[in-house]
Amino acid sequence: MKNNFDAIIIGAGLNGLTTAAYLAKAGHRVLVLEARQALGGTAVTEELAPGVLCDTLVGNLTGFDPRIARELGLSGVEFIGADPSVHALQPDGAGLTLWRDVGKTAEGLRPFSARDADKWGAFVERVARVSGFMEALYAATPPRPNEVKSESLWTLGSLGLKLRGLGKTDLYEALRMLPIAIADWMDEWFENETLKGVLAAGGVTALMQGPLATGTTLNFMHRQVYGGGVIRPTRYVRGGIGKLADALANVVRARGGEIRQGERVVRITLKDDMATGVVLQNGEELAARRIGSSADPHTTFLDLVGAYELDAEFVRAVRTIKYRGANVKLNFLLDGLPTFHNTDPSLLRGTIAVNPTVTALERAYDDAKYGSVSENPYLEFTIPTLADSSRAPEGKHVMSAWLQYAPYTLKTGDWRPETERVREKALGILSRYAPGIESRVLESQVLTPCDLQETYHLREGCLTQGAVMLDQFFFMRPVPGWAQYQTPIANLYLCGGGAHPGGGVAGAAGRNAAREMGKG
Amino acid sequence: MANPFDVIVIGGGHNGLINAAYLARARKKVMVLERRHLVGGAAVTEEIFPGYKFSEFSYVVSLLRPEIIRELELAKHGLEILPLPSTFTPTLDHDYIAFWDDHDETRREIYRHSPHDADAYDDYGFQMYQMAKAIRPILSMIPPDPAALSFTELRRLLQLGQFARSLPEKTIYQLYKLMTMSAADFLDEWFDCVPLKGTKTASGIIGTFMGPRSPGTAYVLLHHYMGEIDGAFRAWGFAKGGTGGVSEAIASSARALGVEIRLSAPVSRVIVRNGRAVGVALENGDDLYADTIVSSLDPKRTFLKLVDEKELPDDFVDSIRRFKTRGSSGKVNLALSELPRFAAFESLVRHNDSAAPMRALRGAVSISPSIEYIERAFDDAKYGNFSQRPYMDMIIPSLIDPQMAPPGKHVMSIFVQYAPYNLNGGWNDARREAFGDAVINTLAEFAPNIKSAILHRQVLTPWDVEEITGLTEGNIFAGELALHQLFFLRPAPRWGSYRTPLRHFYQCGSGTHPGGGIMGAGGRLAALEILKDEK
């Protein structure tokens, strides 16, 4: 087995590809191994039907550090910032809209609540300032809390200065915001139930927690980082989110890197506690100086390395990482645009939230807490073909919905009988707002948390490779003591969403990991 | 004209009294004004029914700082803590788990349920103890203001940094996990046994408006674990003469130091001149003046009721308004003709001996059969209902201190959660009784003789707690112990150091750092800061 490669990257999701692209650009010989045929991981575009492109899982690229595009010289990627970013449907037909423009949103809020309309501008500004601080935090390698190395101190010091640079009020707000429950935080700002609900829904995105839980504001802010100051942004990639993965892959290839699709890594080979290469499912062995795994920590350490190679305490920490997927993804091909009450189709370009309220979200969570799919789940969907007509033949539309809460572990123990029930439930809810929508469905795809795990390698159906919670954040991610992308195995690095700052911020972990892997 | 007093302390709860005593120790002339006819605030003993004395609100002691006991010579003034040696948790299937004073006995109990947990229990106890020890200095630390640029504040920040650096890295991670995790998740990492986790998790939710699955509840586990540490009394204890005994001892010490305590003297307002507190107006129309005014009342009562809003900065008033004080618990005090007989006693005797039931009743009895039981109790509360089957923590003080009830009779104090302050439709007599019935009906599932044993019953809702003690929304910690309301954020950003936006006006109650329980740290630390400012 020869040291053929400088680096092997396991997994061609956005993070894995980002790491690979940065390393390739720095002159390393890189090989990327992807188990599936398609690139992109959770950011994958596949055909829902012949000629119909669908972002199977994540279609809304809320956060993407613009530096990545610039530094790597990405080409062929066109972002579409949907406007409005969110439209909330209400049972009485009066929808509430969040536009990209602050003033326009405030004016739209006025009929609902003059007080909320007046506060909107200040709210947007506060979020923008705190997310600005978080952008610096997300681009840094977390320091060790009590290490006295100059590098750690420098990171801590510059983050501290940045934090203090927020000014007193924002600094305190930042410190309060991260732990506070989104429901409480909303009560501090607003009075309109739908406005509070649509923002609170952002606090529980992909999280098995209700809006009353501590730390849900952190999850809300997580989705604001690199969002360009737009509240709950909706951002598509023209032609499908897979184009972003393609662009990253092109950088890798252009710099001499190699990407092999349909090649599943089954083991990381070790010699003297050092990673030396990988073994593929077909038995082939490949060697490299460094291995970067963008698989989740559980898969990386317990499946690919093996618990016996690792310290028991570390293994215990890896085992107790909370994944807890909360969603079912539904994709529909429609033979025309459904009419939602009397909602103008132009309002449907972004994310559409179905009657969001804090109480409804919390009640939906209650069922899942005890191991059932929500009796009345929360639905959020997009119709990307409205903003990007290139994805489907004329007249046809793709509708992609997230249903929450759907626990990976059901009390009944079996997801199979639930799948069809969940589809009917989702269509039943939608038909209350768009009567007859069922008859427009030409194709449907239902992906349960089990499907997300089996097909897309998302452990427990978790979209962020570990829930974005306070105790799994920053220097605690993926496990305490190992937040610097290195692992207890020399030459093995984590470069996926399991590492800081987590999934849902495309490429951020990958960029940081490349920096650490490129050292020495 | 010189003021007759140097300091006026508003409120004669334990923190107010401690504050006054420390100031008097530094030769200040101090007057304490208490609204009620007795000292103690929420730490009082009252004879609610003739012959039956109750620790009406707060009912156990563990957190009272040992330096306070020492420095105020509380033992000399009658403080006596009787140990509360065990916790007994009956389960719905008439089994139980018990935590005894004796380590080996406890281990045997846990082993019966889960050998794995019996091993983990020692390790858990060790780690919690280490962490409580590690965090202890924070209880006597003045919170720094991370946004301030003054020399003092930067020095405090540096001290905090040095303190953090002195801890082993592993301890920092563990502490951080405790601060941010849910009690349920934290305990799931350690244990399997369902009633064990139920009982442990219960101490994480006491006084909070959160369920055991809410992140942030693990911290309160530690807060309660601190009681295990200090030399004065290792575990939870019961004050002789009820919790009022603690307050009386502090008051006695304060008086001996020259503090004047005026009872039945409700303060209506703090008199402010040019941004400086100069005195207080009593409800009876008297005005009293002093150089320094200290409030031991909760932050909302202090700043929104006693002080004219116009005297305070707007953002400060906003902060105090949004300070969360949701009361979540009630209290049921019973006079009993006989002791409760738990259905689990049979199993208890089988696994121990015939004396075990009496030993169990001498300790705490916890109705916390599982995490899910408590979480479901919270589900009721979060939508504005009291729990149909609440979590309860009971003690029978008459078994420990016979003076609490007539011979042969007993008093039982039941802490009940959840009872939301903001009950749908509001609390009234009918709902109070319905709440009392839910408590007794639930208890009867575990101890079938309870209904026939009741001679008298007092039910206290959060509204009652607020009405009687003055604690806003009946919150027993004078403000929730939530992550965003701790340390330098308690009670409001920038004002975590016992000072207030008004000159010569201070706060010292449980609504300040470190808050909660009969700890007294706020009262003491505030006194030390006041004295510092005078130099």
The reply to whether A208 and A284 lie within a common domain is no
Structure tokens at B84: 């509360």
**Crossing angle of the two packed helices A114-138 and A182-189, in degrees rounded to 10:** 130
How many Å separate Cα A518 from the centre of its chain?
A: 25
Write out the two tokens for B6.
């140097």
Please count the helices (runs of H) and the strands (runs of E) in chain A. 17, 20
pLDDT digits (tens, 9 = 90+) for A203-227: 999 999 999 999 999 999 999 999 9
Rounded CA gap, B112 and B98, in Å? Answer: 11
Nearest CA in chain B to A211: B214
The answer to whether A134 and A221 have CB atoms below 8 angstroms apart is: yes
**Whole-angstrom Cα distance, residue A265 to residue A283?**
9
Rounded to the nearest angstrom, the gap between the alpha carbon of residue A63 and the centroid of all alpha carbons in its chain is 9
Distance, CA of B68 to CA of A65 (rounded, Å)? 54
Same domain, A195 and A113: yes
Least Cα separation, residue B10 to chain A (angstroms): 29
Which DSSP category does A371 fall into? T
> Does A492 reside within a domain?
yes
Specify the pLDDT at position B233: 43
Question: Residue A187's CB: how many other CB atoms inside 10 A?
Answer: 14
- Which of B189, B215, B315 shows the shortest C-beta gap to A470? B215
Interface check A175 vs B, CB under 8 A:
yes
Pick the closest to residue A45 from A67, A62, A60 (CA basis). A60
Residues A216, A296 within the same domain: no
Contact A472, A322 (CB under 8 A): yes
Show the tokens assigned to B366: 């916890």
* pLDDT at residue B479, rounded to an integer: 93
Same domain? For A206 and A168 the reply is yes
Which among B147, B173, B213 has CB closest to A172? B147
Q: How far apart are the first and last CA of chain B?
A: 22
- A308 interface with B at CB cutoff 8 Å: no
How far apart are alpha carbons A167 and A401 in whole angstroms? 40
Q: Number of A:B CB contacts under 8 A? A: 95
CB B182 within 8 A of CB B215: yes
Is A199:A361 a contact under the CB 8 Å cutoff?
Answer: no
Contact of A164 with chain B, judged by CB distance below 8 Å, is answered with yes
State which residue of chain A sits closest to B378, comparing Cα positions: A366
Q: Which two tokens stand for residue A103?
A: 């003033």
CB neighbour class for A244 (10 Å; exposed up to 12, middle 13-18, buried from 19) = buried
CA distance B521 to chain A (A): 23
User: What pLDDT was estimated at residue B231?
Assistant: 46
Of A215, A320, A369, the CB nearest to B180: A215
pLDDT band at A2 (very low <50, low <70, confident <90, very high): low
Residue A281 DSSP symbol: T
C-alpha closest to that of A300 among A506, A488, A32: A488
State whether A192 and A123 are in the same domain: yes
How does strand B276-282 pair with strand A45-49? unpaired
Q: What is the DSSP letter of B40?
A: B
- Closest partner residue to A175 (CB to CB) among B172, B379, B489 is B489
- Return the H-helix or E-strand segment holding A504: none
Chain B touched by A518 (CB under 8 Å): no
The whole-angstrom distance between A311's CA and the closest CA on chain B is 15
Set of chain A residues whose Cβ sits within 8 Å of the Cβ of B179? 470
Whether A176 and A113 map to the same domain: the answer is yes
Q: A231 and A262 in one domain? A: no
With 70 as the cut, is the pLDDT of residue A377 above it?
yes
| Residue A74, domain member (yes or no) | no
Query: For residue A469, which residues of chain B lie inside 8 Å, CB to CB?
Result: 180, 215
Please tell me which residue, B280 or A172, carries the higher pLDDT value.
B280
Residue finishing a domain among A202, A217, A235: A235
Q: Which residues pair with A441 in a beta bridge?
A: A334
CB-CB: which of B185, B375, B483 is closest to A369? B375
Query: What mean pLDDT do residues A271-290 have?
Result: 96
Domain end residue (candidates: A195, A213, A235): A235
pLDDT digits (tens, 9 = 90+) for A469-495: 999 999 999 999 999 999 999 999 999
| 3 state SS for B359-384 | HHHHCEEEECCCHHHHHHHHHHHHCC
- How close does chain A come to B205, measured CA to CA in Å? 13
Q: Tell me how crowded residue B111 is: count the other CB atoms within 10 A of its CB.
A: 15
Tens digit of pLDDT per residue, chain B (535 long)? 578 899 999 999 999 999 999 999 999 999 999 999 999 999 999 999 999 999 999 988 877 888 899 999 999 999 998 888 899 999 999 999 999 988 899 999 999 999 999 999 999 988 888 888 888 888 888 888 877 767 777 777 777 777 777 888 888 888 889 889 999 999 999 999 999 999 999 988 998 999 999 998 988 787 666 765 554 444 578 889 999 999 999 999 999 999 999 999 999 999 999 999 999 999 999 999 999 999 999 999 999 999 999 999 999 999 999 999 999 999 999 999 999 999 999 999 999 999 999 999 999 999 999 999 999 999 999 999 999 999 999 999 999 999 999 999 999 999 999 999 999 999 999 999 999 999 999 999 999 999 999 999 999 999 999 999 999 999 999 999 888 898 888 999 889 999 999 999 999 999 999 887 788 999 999 999 999 998 7
- Tell which residue, B265, B289, B263, B267, has the closest CA to residue B276: B289
The residue range of the domain holding A126 is 100-235
The verdict on A129 and A210 lying in the same domain is yes
**Gap between the Cα atoms of A139 and A143, Å rounded:** 12
* Angstroms from A488 CA to nearest CA on chain B: 16
**Six-digit token string for A370:** 């005890």
Of A187, A208, A235, which closes a domain? A235
- Terminal-to-terminal C-alpha distance of chain A: 23
Q: Kindly give the pairing relationship between strand A30-34 and strand A5-10.
A: parallel
Write phi, then psi, for B149 (nearest 5 degrees). -115, 5
Say if residues A260 and A89 touch (Cβ distance below 8 Å): no
Residues of A in contact with B372 (CB under 8 A): 370
Domain contains A338: no
Where are the strands (E) in A357-420, listed by range? 378-382, 397-404
| Chain B contact for A451 (CB, 8 A cutoff) | no
The beta strands (E) that lie in B40-189 are given as 45-49, 52-55, 81-83, 87-90, 96-99
Residues A196 and A259 in one domain: no
In a domain, A144, yes or no: yes
Chain B residues in contact with A164 by the CB 8 A cut-off are 146-147
Tally the domains of chain A.
Answer: 2
Comparing CB atoms, the residue among B164, B180, B213 nearest residue A369 is: B213
Chain A positions touching B322 (Cβ under 8 A) are: 188
Render A115-158 in DSSP notation, one character per residue: HHHHHHHHHHHHHHHHHHHHHHHHTSPPPPTT---HHHHHHHHH
Q: Give the integer Cα–Cα distance in Å for B168 and A463.
A: 33
Distance from CA of A312 to the nearest CA of B (A): 14
Nearest CA in chain B to A166: B147
What does the alpha-carbon distance between residue B64 and residue B18 come to, in Å, rounded to a whole number? 11
Instruction: Kindly state whether residue A49 falls inside one of the protein's structural domains.
Output: no
Query: What one-character DSSP code corresponds to residue A298?
Result: I
> Do A247 and A213 reside in the same domain of the chain?
no
Is the Cβ pair B146, A148 closer than 8 Å?
no
Q: Does A162 have pLDDT greater than 90? A: no
Across A80-89, A154-163, A208-217, A508-517, least confident range:
A154-163
Residue A180, chain B, CB below 8 Å: the answer is yes
List Cα–Cα distances, A35 to A28, A138, A267, A287, in angstroms: 22, 28, 13, 18
Q: Are B215 and A164 an interchain contact pair (Cβ–Cβ within 8 Å)?
A: no
Which residues on chain B are in Cβ contact (under 8 Å) with A215? 180, 215-216
**DSSP at B134:** H
Q: How far apart are CA A394 and CA A385, in angstroms?
A: 9
Cα A493 to Cα A293: distance, rounded to the nearest angstrom: 6
The answer to whether residue A90 sits within a structural domain is no
Q: How confident is the model at residue A147 (pLDDT cuts 50, 70, 90)?
A: low
On chain B, the residues whose CB falls within 8 A of the CB of A146 are 164-165, 167, 169, 172
Same domain, A211 and A276: no
Determine whether the interchain pair B483/A146 forms a contact, defined as Cβ–Cβ distance below 8 Å. no
Note whether A153 contacts B: Cβ–Cβ < 8 A: no
3-state percent breakdown (helix, strand, coil) of chain B, nearest 5: 45, 20, 40
pTM for the whole structure: 0.94
Using H for helix, E for strand and C for coil, what is the string for B163-184? HHHHCCHHHHHHHHHHHHCEHH
Q: Cβ separation of B484 and A179 shorter than 8 Å?
A: yes
Task: For residues A415 and B516, give the distance between their C-alpha atoms in angstroms, rounded to a whole number.
Answer: 45
Cα separation, B41 vs B55, whole angstroms:
11
Q: Residue A21 falls within a domain, yes or no?
A: yes
Q: Are A205 and A153 within one domain?
A: yes
C-alpha–C-alpha distance, residues A428 and A395, integer Å: 23
How far is residue A396's CA from residue A331's CA, in Å, rounded to a whole number?
13
Q: Which residue carries 């305990």 as its tokens? A: B187
Specify the amino acid at residue A418.
E
CATH number for A21: 3.50.50.60
Q: Chain B residues within 8 A (CB-CB) of chain A?
A: 146-147, 164-165, 167, 169-170, 172-173, 176-177, 179-181, 185, 189, 210, 213-216, 315, 322, 324, 372, 375, 379, 382-383, 482-484, 489, 493-494
The domains located in chain B, with CATH, are 5-80+242-323+486-534 (3.50.50.60), 115-192+203-235 (no CATH)
Residue B172 to residue A146, Cβ atoms within 8 A: yes
For residue A220, the SS3 value is helix
Please provide the average confidence, as pLDDT, over all residues in chain A. 94
Tell me which residue of A205, A244, A198, A245 sits closest to A222, measured CA to CA: A205
Residue of A nearest to B172 (CA): A145
In a domain, A361, yes or no: no
Nearest chain A residue to B181, by CA: A471
| CB contacts, 8 Å: B176 with chain A | 145, 471, 476, 480
Q: A308 falls in which pLDDT band (50, 70, 90)? A: very high
